[in-house]
Chain A
Amino acid sequence: MLQASRLTLERHFHPVFAPVDLVVGRGDLWVLTGANGSGKTTLLRLLAGLVTPSEGQLARSVAAAWVGHRLALKDDLDVLENLQLARDFAGRTDADPLDAARKAGLEMALDQPAGTLSAGQRKRCALARLLLSPAPLWLLDEPYANLDRDGVTLLDGLLADHVGAGGACVMSTHGDLKPAIDGYRELAILPAPPGDHW
């Protein structure tokens, strides 16, 4: 589904992390671990195609869904409108925004403008958008951030269903929050070796 070999990215002429090799197939759940600023987000953005790698090859044969720190919610639109927009723009035509909102536990906030939602609710909104997306590959940047206890169980459920149904996911977490699903593989992001290329 996704194959990355010797992937690196240079910021200010210094590689952000050591070259990364990663193969993601159907049913895989990869968890990127590493200290803050080790480049987890940068690597995810590379995999999502938002950034072009300085060196290395990246081949992705399927569509990807991206949930970053910035959740792409329009503050003036309410939750339902945001989800309908997401569905019309790049979602599955048969997906129903109402059902996705209900699954993400946002039934009571449907007509609330996104600007007034709490951080946890906004993250649930982003997760609801994931449900509408046809992309088999999920790229999640610290999905557990801002989620309360049943938010975490909700996310674990979504991940289990998605991976179980043959999808794949690459996510990053900081700290000890790991998905409560067995069979996930970890990839530690190592800082770039000191010294230089030439």
Chain B
Amino acid sequence: MNATVTTPPGKAIGPIFRRDLKLAFRRRSEILQPLIFLCVVVSLFPLGVSPAPERLATMAQGVIWIAALLATVLSLDTFFRDDWEDGSIEQWAVSGHSLALIAVARAAAHWLVAGLPIVLLSPLLATWMQLPGEGVPVLAATLALGTPVLALVGAIGSALTVGARRGGQLLSLLVFPLYVPVLIMATGATGAAVDGLPYNGQLGLMAAMLVAAVTLAPFAIAAALRLSLE
């Protein structure tokens, strides 16, 4: 099928990005849900394990990062579902714009609404988990570099399962193996910072993962979206 279509007059990224922000702020409570979930999960650990500061400090970055992972997957479950159900994805596909650009716009808007707050919240979580002072800025840095990767890779899973019958539980199974490298590098960097070791290697790798995700993930998302229409 070759639709030698002239490039459509409108733009792909701007309108979708603004639309997403407008939609997000129309349902302001939905922005808070993943963040509240994050705080709840983190605060369970002192209750579950032990309030002793030195024990909490050893696992602080791990707990915070795993909670951030869970919060991201929670918010990604319905990432494309509304657009799929109301037919927006069909309009995107017919419009002639590249679905990859639209995916980038959507992931960027989602990160702004879901990922950035996690980064801003991380100092509070770090103090809850008694993370030593040197680790806090590095934790925020790893979250800043890592949450976009979580959003983009999670969006692939979300686009793949949007057409599936019960996509919800499947999403976490699909996405967690792909999150393993991000988790390892992030907790490694923060741990190194706490121990006073150099951590720029880990941060460099996380930046590399971010670049890879930004350049490769949108094409996988676009293919998955086109597939969900069939």
Contacts and interface: CB of A to CB of B under 8 A. Distances in A.
Interface of A: 45, 48-53, 57-66, 68-77, 81, 85-93, 134, 139
Contacts of B8: 63, 90, 134
A48 B15 CA distance: 22
16 contacts: A57-B1, A58-B1, A62-B5, A63-B96, A68-B87, A70-B87, A76-B26, A77-B19, A77-B26, A85-B15, A88-B14, A89-B95, A90-B10, A90-B96, A134-B8, A139-B94
B29 interface: no
A178 B23 CA distance: 38
B11 A88 contact: yes
Interface string B67-107: 00000000000000000011110110111110000000000
Interface string B122-141: 00000000000000000000
Nearest to B102: A89
Given A60-B1, A89-B16, A76 B23 contact: yes
A51 B10 contact: no
A9 to B, nearest CB: 9
A75 B86 contact: yes
A90 B9 contact: yes
A125 B10 CA distance: 19
B169 interface: no
Contacts of A57: 1
Contacts of A59: 1-2
A81 B22 contact: yes
Interface of B: 1-6, 8-12, 14-16, 19, 22-23, 26-27, 85-88, 90-91, 93-97, 229-230
Nearest to A52: B1
Contacts of B3: 49, 60-61, 64
A61 to B, nearest CB: 6
B141 to A, nearest CB: 34
A52 B93 CA distance: 12
Nearest to B85: A70
Nearest to B5: A63
Contacts of B5: 60, 62-64
B32 to A, nearest CB: 17
